[in-house]
Structure 1
Amino acid sequence: MSIAVVDRAPVTLDDLNRAAALLTRVDRKYVLAASAADAVLAALPHATRVLEIDGARTFAYRSTYFDTPDLACYLGTAHRRRRRYKVRTRTYVDSGECFLEVKTRRGDATVKRRLPWSGPADRIDADGLGFVDGALSEDRIQLDGALTPTLDVDYLRTTLLMPDGASRATVDSALTWRDRATGRTRTAPGVVIVETKSGAGPSSADHVLWRRGHRPVAVSKYATGLAALRPSLPHNRWHRLLSRADLAA
């Protein structure tokens, strides 16, 4: 963990959720080398706080992404379709808590709907499908086929609350992707994904990133990972990222 994170004041999960429960938000993603990420963290405003639970500030996550047989979710992202979506379960590995989540796009904003999930993280039952259908219908999206678990993504996450109390940033590292169909894996040991989540305007974290020459990029953990594991898929949007030497087979 960066010393810049260790030295920040903590924020509890309840306080974080009350301050920045942004389920409709503008997301900006940045792909950085680990050393560059450390420099960005050190440059954040001093009043930035770090999520802390039971003394820990970095937590293990697993996301299992679901897709249709013809990969409608993946192709929607690859081709920048206006009505694109993702369906996943997200497991907080340290606590065992799990949610079923549906993400859609509304213009430049991301809308996330989530449901506490007590079933297997790699299976969506009838109740779960009802939740997914309902969430998609709110954005006039029709499910294109049966959903099957397609890709697992494991990573470590640190969450930051910006001084304005209304925006946050996440710092993801140690990413590992596993293709459910083949069992193949890819890792990105030297890559850090910083994601800022705010209202319409940029956050203080965005301004720090911009001053240091980092610009938002179109990156999806699901789509990038699946493209790396299945190179025959259309992947022009992520060609530069996939060619990085620190995205290891």
Structure 2
Amino acid sequence: MSGLLAPGALPPITLDELLERAALQTRVDRKYVLPRADAARMLATLAPETRVLEIDGARGAVYESVYFDTDDLLSYRMAALGRRRRFKLRTRSYLDSGDAFLELKTKGARSVTVKERLAYEIEHRDELTPAGIAYAAPPLVELGLDDPQLLQPTLVTRYVRETLYLPGSGSRATVDTELGWEAAAGEQLALPDLAIVETKSAGAASELDRLLWRSGHRPARVSKFGTGLAALRPDLPSHKWNRVLRRHFAHAA
């Protein structure tokens, strides 16, 4: 796969080994939005012991997510307005392997985030099947969505993801590039010169966090669903993501 940012000389790690070394069920996530060229420079300075996830000989994976929302964008507005009780429902497809899942992320009154997923048929990734609705309905009804059948495909995101194991901190990181969005009405957005880096550690900053900080990059509020839809729909409330929108999305293609 062309265009990957992690140096090819870094040794590989298998998925099983990555999960064994850095499962991180309880973790601190930090997201950064930066020019693709800056991300490449950061990765080039990582310790040579850093390892790159490799599956079937490939070091990058093409992801596609289809987000579902109501006509009045209930899920989006819950996130944009910072509601304590909110949800996000999407299919996530791994286009290289053909695997797909229906993923539901909910946040309840105690601000505890719960993420669950159901194996899904990839050919149905842009729709909610009866099995998908039955799976998602109970927690959605509890959050106030009386009829989950009102949910429709609203936004599609696509990107290439590289995953790193950072041995100095026992943490991991993902690097997403070739970022693209497409709304249900046909609006499209592409950010080929941008990267979203996410570090996942047990708490303390990882070596990649420190590299980013030394170069002037700080964690940012960004959501592929929320920020992407806000960029495509300037009429929507977007204060939560305005800083990232102004800095990185204003001149998008």
TM-score (norm 2): 0.86
2: CA distance, partners of 1:16 / 1:133 = 33
The structure 1 residue matched to 2:175, chosen from 168, 171, 184, is: 171
Which residue of structure 1 aligns with residue 49 of structure 2?
47
The structure 2 residue matched to 1:224, chosen from 227, 237, 249, is: 227
What per-residue deviation string (whole Å, max 9, x for no partner) do you get for residues 8-56 of structure 1?
A: 1101122223333345543211001011101211232332210112221
Unaligned runs of 5+ in 2: none
What per-residue deviation string (whole Å, max 9, x for no partner) do you get for residues 63-95 of structure 1?
A: 101112221211122112222221110110111
Report if aligned partners of 1:25, 1:110 keep a CA contact under 8 Å in 2. no
Which residue of structure 2 aligns with residue 13 of structure 1?
15
- With over 3 angstroms needed to count, the CA separation of the structure-2 counterparts of 1:206 and 1:192, relative to structure 1, is same
The structure 1 residue matched to 2:151, chosen from 136, 147, 150, is: 147
1:49 partner amino acid: R
1:230-249 matched pairs, under 5 angstroms: 230-243=233-246, 244=248, 247-249=251-253
Which residue of structure 2 aligns with residue 63 of structure 1?
65
The structure 2 residue matched to 1:89, chosen from 81, 88, 91, is: 91
1:239 Cα shift? 2.4
2: CA distance, partners of 1:192 / 1:25 = 22
Question: What number of residue pairs does the alignment pair up?
Answer: 246
Mapped pair 1:202 → 2:227: no
2: CA distance, partners of 1:103 / 1:189 = 28
2: CA distance, partners of 1:21 / 1:177 = 29
Unaligned runs of 5+ in 1: none
2: CA distance, partners of 1:154 / 1:179 = 12
Report if aligned partners of 1:189, 1:247 keep a CA contact under 8 Å in 2. no
Which residue of structure 2 aligns with residue 128 of structure 1?
132
Mapped pair 1:157 → 2:161: yes
Mapped pair 1:72 → 2:80: no
1:167 Cα shift? 2.5
2: CA distance, partners of 1:24 / 1:109 = 12
Report if aligned partners of 1:136, 1:143 keep a CA contact under 8 Å in 2. yes
Which residue of structure 1 aligns with residue 36 of structure 2?
34
- With over 3 angstroms needed to count, the CA separation of the structure-2 counterparts of 1:85 and 1:22, relative to structure 1, is farther
Report if aligned partners of 2:158, 2:181 keep a CA contact under 8 Å in 1. yes
- With over 3 angstroms needed to count, the CA separation of the structure-2 counterparts of 1:147 and 1:13, relative to structure 1, is same
2:128 partner amino acid: I
| Identity in percent | 49
2:153 partner amino acid: P
1: CA distance, partners of 2:44 / 2:207 = 13
- With over 3 angstroms needed to count, the CA separation of the structure-2 counterparts of 1:104 and 1:24, relative to structure 1, is farther
Mapped pair 1:188 → 2:191: yes
2: CA distance, partners of 1:18 / 1:12 = 10
2:221 partner amino acid: A
Report if aligned partners of 1:102, 1:135 keep a CA contact under 8 Å in 2. no
2: CA distance, partners of 1:105 / 1:78 = 14
2:152 partner amino acid: T
- With over 3 angstroms needed to count, the CA separation of the structure-2 counterparts of 1:226 and 1:92, relative to structure 1, is same
